[in-house]
Structure 1
């Protein structure tokens, strides 16, 4: 029989989550900016190997000491991946950082790469070893199941994505203030229309600040009433017209819509581990 305490410890929920040792420098600044170093300590860099080198491809979120959440569209069966945690500058060697490798990658079974607008753009990476938490690496909090953000909630998208459409990739972690756009507005015909689904979160659309290529899979961080940061979204897609196109806000997988799936994947993996032993 599986111990309930063991199960709970392995699920992506943790007391003390969502509280950085170095609080982020949050402001109402419009436009992306360098993040305060290590102020988003659950931010992961998903990288793939090519010709002996590693390249950043997507972001991710540490939700348990051996689980990273990212977008399904970030995963290709033909690539080898690694996960970096505790990073600020991807070009530098940084004390307290962690390099981990996937033991297993689980992409949502309903994900269809030919139909991104259908949703289910979520994947979980089980690391081959547990990461030791420190001041640079902490767990993210996940929101309550089915919770919906209010319109104009101020959230931050974070990542190492391009600084603008077709622009350069930064070495330093970036953050961008985005205001949530409710589903009723985002699904209007002059916004995203039927492309956006209730299982998604829209944020931005002011034509100035947005996620961009390379931010995919990373978190949409929103501060709760208790001061803890919760990851409400996973960067999923933006407009083909450009990264910061007016009335085409960044679209995120709504994490609270997949609470049961996240819990089930964790539980299923734990069952398999116990069967093997």
Structure 2
């Protein structure tokens, strides 16, 4: 009972101090990815795996509590050893104030099917071995209200260290890209994603110019709420096999608001 109370309090405290960067992002209406302002998305995580004695970026993630990181289920492999980097801007540089945290456990949604990403449930939570100290470079993301749906053409930003273009290079500096939300009625049309997209997903982009790409997986879709706080409405899930910036094939995200109760339940029980 005390554990559940603590978990609820943890999320309640997180909600009070979330979504407000010390270094506000430069959110000009730039089409196409661009370098983010350093540390302006302070909940962005880099999920890295170990190979030999080196660590390699594989996916993004979002810090939602001082010891919990939200990512995509397809980012997780039971055969790999992971770490989470927080407070990072340039992955190739030593940066003061950054933290490398070890996972205590990783919980993948029980309905996730690795052979069918289009089935949905592409969500996982990483519990860190220790609580991370928040700072001007490490802050918590806000989560949206349960079941809330973004309206069409809401301007959001996808952030990550994914490839700059299809089969392109991986950047050292954190990137951001402006994406406009495509409503489910449009995105599920046959000439768009059709039945591949589900109601527990969010579509954004599809203009043929800006999108998420390989390496952005698991990272946040950041949308600003009416009170000015940034909420993470999506987790980068999949895009078109035809290429990253394909017309009428918007980036598809796991819709965070559809998994509000699952997130709370996992944190309460672990």
TM bin, normalised by shorter chain, reads over 0.9
CA distance in 1, matches of 2:61, 2:3: 29
Residue by residue over 1:200-246, the C-alpha shift from the partner in whole angstroms, topping out at 9 and shown as x without a partner, is 00000000000000000000000000000000000000000000000
State the Cα distance separating 1:16 from its structure 2 match. Answer: 1.4
Is the 2:3–2:268 contact (alpha carbons within 8 Å) kept by the matching residues of 1?
Answer: no
Is the 1:14–1:64 contact (alpha carbons within 8 Å) kept by the matching residues of 2?
Answer: no
CA distance in 1, matches of 2:7, 2:57: 32
CA distance in 1, matches of 2:173, 2:133: 23
Match of 1:59 in 2: 60
Match of 2:238 in 1: 237
The number of aligned residues is 269
State the Cα distance separating 1:4 from its structure 2 match. Answer: 6.8
CA distance in 1, matches of 2:44, 2:3: 30
CA distance in 1, matches of 2:3, 2:246: 50
Match of 2:31 in 1: 30
CA distance in 1, matches of 2:196, 2:3: 43
CA distance in 1, matches of 2:117, 2:93: 34
User: Unaligned stretches of 5+ in structure 1?
Assistant: 270-277
User: Unaligned stretches of 5+ in structure 2?
Assistant: none
SS in 2 for 1:155: strand
Is the 1:145–1:259 contact (alpha carbons within 8 Å) kept by the matching residues of 2?
Answer: yes
Match of 2:268 in 1: 267
CA distance in 1, matches of 2:4, 2:129: 22
Q: CA RMSD in A?
A: 1.0
TM-score normalised by L of structure 1: 0.96
Is 1:10 the counterpart of 2:3? The answer is no
Match of 1:49 in 2: 50
TM-score normalised by L of structure 2: 0.98
Residue by residue over 1:84-141, the C-alpha shift from the partner in whole angstroms, topping out at 9 and shown as x without a partner, is 0000000001011110010000000000011100000000000000000000000000
